[in-house]
Amino acid sequence: MPDCRLSCERCGTTESRSLQDAGFGELLAEGVVKIPCARCGETTLWKLVLPPRQEPQPRSAKGPRGLLLIDDDPDTLRILQIMLRPEQYRVVTAESANQAVERLQTEDYDVIVSDIRMPGFDGRSLYRFLACFLPEYTSKVVFLTGDHSEKTLRFLRECNCPYSFKPIQLHELEEKIQEIA
């Protein structure tokens, strides 16, 4: 398990803490975990501290951007693979966040475009996983979602990632991708 940067919601103490599997699962799912706080002297709620957003670097590499596209809806994956031109994007798809994590362990990508609502390990969990294990990728995520719920809108404000709503608006989505790479 990685050391996660956490902040006690009660006293504001920030620490790197190593979590047990169960605690890490809770943190990924909820963005918060209940663990003891030495300063508060009891178990409190700790929030994952998200890494600061890195300014996008000017794109130096020539050729298509490596783009990891994550959506549990195969139609969305297929449509985007057709719409995103191969001269500009080398698209690799994943039908789940778990599959995306496997892909990220074997290959580098310039941009990650991810759905938010997915069964199991969702886009929010994926983002928190990246914050703990692959923080350099947190500045490379664009969310693509049809979910306008308050929970999702709050998450988008907190993570400060570029996003675009479904139905897919290709021009807007490409602008968000190009903000990153």
Residues that bind Zn ion (CB under 5 A): 8, 10-11, 37, 39-40, 44
Smallest gap from Cβ 19 to Zn ion, in A, equals 16
Residue closer to Zn ion, measured from CB, 14 or 18: 14
Smallest gap from Cβ 125 to Zn ion, in A, equals 25
Smallest gap from Cβ 133 to Zn ion, in A, equals 25
Residue closer to Zn ion, measured from CB, 4 or 8: 8
- Give burial (CB, 10 Å; 0-12/13-18/19+) of 58: exposed
20: left (phi over 0), alpha (psi -120 to 50) or beta: beta
Smallest gap from Cβ 18 to Zn ion, in A, equals 17
Residue closer to Zn ion, measured from CB, 39 or 78: 39
Smallest gap from Cβ 28 to Zn ion, in A, equals 21
Cα 7 to Cα 37, 114, 157, 164, 180, distances in angstroms: 10, 26, 18, 29, 28
User: Which residues, in sequence order, are bridge partners of residue 36?
Assistant: 43
Q: How far apart are CA 91 and CA 88, in angstroms?
A: 9
Residue 74, classed as helix, strand or coil, is: helix
Residue closer to Zn ion, measured from CB, 10 or 151: 10
Residue closer to Zn ion, measured from CB, 11 or 153: 11
Nearest residue to 93 via CA among 121, 74, 65, 117:
74
